[in-house]
Amino acid sequence: MEISHYSGLPNLYFDTTSTMYTEAITYRSTFPPHTFGTLYPVDADWEAHQARELTSFQARQA
């Protein structure tokens, strides 16, 4: 849902009248997602995250 929102795509694939969709939107308005800058305020944090992800990926491929 976030990707379509930030990409400017319409919600064509979401049933906006469903209970689950309504609950998800309510939750998102109550607890908005973190921004990229909040999650990784400095480049070193982002690079450490990428290194962890790469290590995890390589372990799954072995």
Torsion of CA 11, 13, 18, 20, to 10 degrees: -90
Per-residue pLDDT in tens (0 to 9) along the chain, 62 residues: 566 666 766 666 778 888 998 998 899 899 988 777 788 888 899 899 999 999 999 999 98
Instruction: Determine the pLDDT at residue 61.
Output: 93
Instruction: Determine the pLDDT at residue 2.
Output: 64
Instruction: Determine the pLDDT at residue 12.
Output: 66
Is residue 47 within 8 A of residue 40, CB to CB? The reply is no
Query: pTM of the entire structure?
Result: 0.46
In the chain, where the domains are located: 1-31, 35-62
Q: Considering only CA atoms, which of 32, 13, 30 is closest in space to residue 21?
A: 13
Instruction: Determine the pLDDT at residue 40.
Output: 84
